């Protein structure tokens, strides 16, 4: 449960559609990507949950990327 707390930091901006919050959320989930890859590599009993975690990170980053390309930047 404690591992979810960092994801709550940019939550308000994500709901509002802020590109800056999406960028920071992308940086935060990279930590989860590294943890998932490390767990999948070094801990065979936890390989499936770790790979699910990696898959969720890839889906999140892809969806943020797709959304940010459809939104026009504020200049």
pLDDT for the residue 60:
92
Q: Take residue 19 and report the two structure tokens written for it.
A: 């590109």
* Percent of the chain topping pLDDT 90: 48
pLDDT for the residue 56:
93
Cα gap 74→6, rounded to integer Å: 26
pLDDT for the residue 32:
93
DSSP code per residue over 1-62: -GGGHHHHTTHHHHHHT-HHHHHHHHHHHHHHHHHHHHHHHH-GGGHHHHHHHHHHHHHHHH
Question: Could you give the C-alpha distances from 44 to 26, 34, 62, in angstroms and in order?
Answer: 27, 16, 27
């Amino acid at each position: 449960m404690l591992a979810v707390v960092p994801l709550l930091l940019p939550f308000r901006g994500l709901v509002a559609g802020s590109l800056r919050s999406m960028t920071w959320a992308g940086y935060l989930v990279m930590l989860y990507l590294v943890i998932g890859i490390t767990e999948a590599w070094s801990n065979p009993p936890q390989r499936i949950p770790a790979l699910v975690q990696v898959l969720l990170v890839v889906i999140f980053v892809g969806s943020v990327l797709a959304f940010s390309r459809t939104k026009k930047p504020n200049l």
